[in-house]
Amino acid sequence: MPEQTARPGWQRPSIYDVAKSAGVSHMTVSRVLNGHSNIRESTRDRVLKAIEETNYTRNSIARALATRRAMRIGVLVDGPLQYGPNSTLRALEGAARTVGYTVSAVTVDDDPSEADAGVAELVMQGVEALCVIAPRQSSLDLLRRRSTGLPTVIIKAEPESGMHTLAVDQRAGAEIAVQHLIDLGHRSVGHLAGPLDWYDARERQQGWHDALEQAGLPAPEPVVGDWTSDRGHALARAGALDGVTAVLAGNDQMALGLVHGLTERGVRVPEDVSVVGFDDVPDARHFLPPLTTVRQDFAALGELTLRRIIMAIEDEDVAQHEVIQPRLVVRSSTAPPPA
């Protein structure tokens, strides 16, 4: 909807306008805006639709002055250039904007001191809570050592003692991908893993291993990459994944490089080797061949994260660990193994 501009006689839509449009009370609108969990999904959807139709924008500055609250969430992002962390951040920002919160994000790469400085910077901005996206071991070690006194939510696929954690279920995603390959008839499935200092990479590798073990199939030694298509290409060219009829790649970028490298060597995908990725990046359906991959619902993850952060800020009970289930998107890069 086009953005409304100020003009004589025009007034900014209020919460009461939203309530009238949605057919609910203004208190219900307020509860939706504040991320309360005990709202029916149909009611939440109706209110969010009314917010969009009325072009309502919460005046977060006015509210901050009235409540003496910053209405700001601090986010520390590991690996900001990777698709998953970046998509999670954008989803959280969108969900926060809807209810009048702002997000201050600090991104860090490989230097642990960057994470320390990033947390200090966020705390100095007066954020009400912290969220850590796609943490590596070094980031969580820092949070264990450094007490900020702020409610903290970790986007992490496995539980963490004493911390609120939630994520897309990475292990389950890898399991359904491998099961798809097994159902096609594959009995030798390799794994091109992401860097194993990433918790998501560890969980995907474990899911791959568990699915093979449950099927009574051997798990060859995984090959470790670095998330990039260049590395996937180099490993394929070097024959690092030879000897299997299918490969689960730790992300779509490595899968892209893998397919490229195999093709250059005359290995056909999927006629000779099937390839599955992870993430379902927007271009995955345009790979040659279009990529079978595991889709993560980043929008749902962003909304759930925001609700849990607000509950933590308001001292409500927050589940210690929650996961969102991924789903497999089957395209043309997988087929039965060669006879």
Q: Report which residue type is found at 320.
A: Q
Per-residue confidence (pLDDT) for residue 58, from 0 to 100: 57
Per-residue confidence (pLDDT) for residue 281, from 0 to 100: 94
Q: 3-state DSSP helix/strand/coil percent for the chain, to nearest 5?
A: 45, 15, 40
Per-residue confidence (pLDDT) for residue 28, from 0 to 100: 84
Per-residue confidence (pLDDT) for residue 80, from 0 to 100: 65
Please state, as a whole number, how many other Cβ atoms lie within 10 Å of the Cβ of residue 219: 17
pLDDT digits (tens, 9 = 90+) for 46-100: 888 888 787 776 554 444 444 445 688 999 888 767 888 889 999 999 888 887 8
**By C-alpha distance, which of 244, 241, 239, 269 is closest to 189?**
244
Per-residue confidence (pLDDT) for residue 31, from 0 to 100: 75
Per-residue confidence (pLDDT) for residue 35, from 0 to 100: 64
For 68, residues 6+ apart whose C-beta sits below 8 A from its C-beta are: none
Per-residue confidence (pLDDT) for residue 10, from 0 to 100: 44
As beta bridge partners, residue 321 has 165
Which residues of the chain have a pLDDT value below 50? 1-10, 60-68
Per-residue confidence (pLDDT) for residue 37, from 0 to 100: 65
Per-residue confidence (pLDDT) for residue 213, from 0 to 100: 98
Per-residue confidence (pLDDT) for residue 62, from 0 to 100: 47
Per-residue confidence (pLDDT) for residue 8, from 0 to 100: 46
Strand bridging mode 327-329 / 292-295: antiparallel
Q: Is 100 left (phi over 0), alpha (psi -120 to 50) or beta?
A: left
Domains identified in the chain and CATH numbers: 15-57 (1.10.260.40), 69-168+298-325 (3.40.50.2300), 170-296 (3.40.50.2300)
pTM: predicted TM-score of the whole model, two decimal places = 0.76
